[in-house]
Amino acid sequence: MKEPQDYRQLFDLDGRHALVIGGGGGIGAASALGLADFGAGITVADIDLAAAERTVSRLRERGKEGTALVLDISDEAAVDEAIASLPALDVLVCTPAVNVRKRLLEYSAEEFDRVIGLNLRGSFFVMRAAGRRMAAQRRGSIILFSSIRAQVVEAGQGVYAATKAASLQLIRALAAELAPDGVRANAVAPGVVETSLTAPIKSNEAWYHAYADRSALGRWADPSEMVGAVVYLASDASSYVTGTLQLVDGGWTAVDGRFQPPL
């Protein structure tokens, strides 16, 4: 890529179209708004159509345009149809995940299948469909939301962590396979973010504060704090970045333990 006349142009997404899956709320909604602010056209997909439409309304309040789409990523045919129906696809952001916080010895087969089915199988359907389309057009950026649980784990997080580690390896393989076609694939790993997925933790004051204290910054993240990584990975600013795990975790994985030594 030639050196730009103005390096701010590296983040310009004018003329590009992004599909944000899970865009009805939380990190997905923030990602849709952020990408739109940098010029991208947006399709907001969510299993809850009303939630997707609310995000589109927020886009329009900011003077941006967007389209809402109902999508369950665990439905293979629906994923293929949705991605084929888009007018264009330059950026794919996939955020949906489910977690059953339970010790492994207490996990049921149904719970195991539910977590694996959405987090891993569903993510695979999305990566495959988007990858095929982007490879055919020889450009594109795939951004999957992983988690710090792809790197570290605790009691009650085993199956969820396994899906996040596995989907990260799929992203890395996709990056290797699609690089010759001009397609990049990366993952973002948040720490603790205030979303509906983490609501059960927030409702327990001791648990909530323990997680806040675990990070170097001493607090939880807001969904908006994930947007910088998404825009970076979607744009030409990351043109030489593929196959990575972008940690946005407040220092969680860098800091050893919760105890502050009396130095």
Which residues are part of the catalytic machinery?
160
CA distance 213 to 233: 29
DSSP secondary structure, 143-212, as one string? EEE--GGGT---TT-HHHHHHHHHHHHHHHHHHHHHGGGTEEEEEEEE-SB-SGGGHHHHTSHHHHHHHH
CA distance 99 to 160: 6
The type of residue at 148 is: I
Strand order in the sheet with 183-190: 66-70, 41-46, 17-21, 91-94, 140-145, 183-190, 245-248
Q: Which residues face 248 on adjacent strands?
A: 190
Burial class (CB in 10 A: 0-12, 13-18, 19+), 115: buried
